[in-house]
Structure 1
């Protein structure tokens, strides 16, 4: 399933979401301006490498300053490894980020995005603590946005494309179904990556899982207005926001 758009109106322009997309695109265009060797050096210096973060010995071997490992927790969120990586992440951020920003407010949304993005990366780092492969991309932070959306708008409609024998099928499904299936796919892919190293490599599955769970569990801490839970006639839970309170 390929998400095309959500059918969920917002009240305000998504300024931070657009700003994050623009920054990511600008950084990627800068990457393209570098030579192959310079680009690899850029990834090593500003991508997050768990081995450098947890073991000073690796820092000595590479000559990298220890402070750079901590700074890379932030900088790696704006680096992407290719056009597909960038477009996939930014498209997903636009679909789900605007409504989450609308509820949290611009400043709280930016704080939520950066905080959960770092926590998602640390989830990956704890599992692959000796890895010397730089981690790049906004996937962890965007997964957290998806987790928050899952809790805030479980019944919002998502328009998805389902290819059926090369025939495009456009279907509207509830957000909880799309995001729930997405989470399960990340979960099983993460298990396979542990059981069969290298078979599904190249993707930080546990950063996705950590981000989604962090976003779903902590979004209320960043709410601009009180968040309350409700249960509809069918007994399904969701969340709403008390707009009468500042």
Structure 2
């Protein structure tokens, strides 16, 4: 299932959502070479991605992880490592990774920003991203494998959306072989299904013998939980009340 849009108009232009998407896109092109050069891509992931074992000191310096043919990532003690929980939020491992994250952010981010205000939303995004990074590090603190992607912070946005707009319809694209169909579903069903899938996918990673590289699903879980827990601290009640009245006028029959 792929979210395409929601039936949830905004009061104000989501400036921060657009800005973050622009920064993510610019980072992909200017820092990561748009994925066109594997050496540039691997270098960016290795140098600016979050390596749990580097942060905790549990991965031995000099340990090598192959991120591509003849392209190792070496554990080090570079001072930049302390900033990788932030820098890693703006990096991606490939076009599919980038487009998927941006699509989810495009669908869910604007309404959460509209309910918090711009500055609160920016801080909320970064806090959820840091919580996501902390969750992944806690699951495998000695891992020498770099973690990159905006998905942890975006998971926090999705958690916030679940609390703020559980009954809003989200238009989901279903693909079954050659059959394509768009089906509107309530946000609570979409988001809880997604969260449950992350839990099921991540359970094998709790067994240290099975922990490998791949999708950092516990970052998704940590970001989502942070979003659910923190959203009410960041919500601007005046904005949400104004949105509620406006939506009711536009769609009196919708929840």
TM-score, structure 1 normalization: 0.86
Task: Tell me the equivalent position of 1:32.
Answer: 33
SS of equivalent residue, structure 1 residue 158: strand
Alignment deviations for residues 106-131 of structure 1 (CA, whole Å, 9 cap, x no partner): 10000000011011111000111000
The 10-residue stretch of structure 1 (169-178 or 94-103) with the greater mean CA deviation from structure 2: 169-178
Task: Tell me the equivalent position of 1:18.
Answer: 18
The 10-residue stretch of structure 1 (39-48 or 206-215) with the greater mean CA deviation from structure 2: 39-48
Aligned residue among 181, 192, 208 for 2:220: 208
Q: After the TM superposition, which segments of 4 or more aligned residues of structure 1 sit over 4 Å from their partners?
A: 59-63
Consecutive unaligned residues of structure 2, counting only runs of 5 or more, are 64-74, 244-255
> 2: CA distance between counterparts of 1:198 and 1:131?
9
Aligned residue among 165, 178, 194 for 1:182: 194
Task: Tell me the equivalent position of 1:230.
Answer: none
Task: Tell me the equivalent position of 1:231.
Answer: none
> 2: CA distance between counterparts of 1:137 and 1:39?
13
SS of equivalent residue, structure 2 residue 183: strand
The alignment of Structure 1 onto Structure 2 pairs a total of residues equal to 229
Alignment deviations for residues 67-119 of structure 1 (CA, whole Å, 9 cap, x no partner): 32221110000000100000000010010000000000010000000011011
Aligned residue among 203, 210, 218 for 1:197: 210
> 1: CA distance between counterparts of 2:202 and 2:60?
26
Alignment deviations for residues 3-34 of structure 1 (CA, whole Å, 9 cap, x no partner): 11111011000110011111111111121268
The 10-residue stretch of structure 1 (108-117 or 32-41) with the greater mean CA deviation from structure 2: 32-41
CA RMSD of aligned residues (A): 2.2
> 2: CA distance between counterparts of 1:167 and 1:45?
42
Consecutive unaligned residues of structure 1, counting only runs of 5 or more, are 227-239
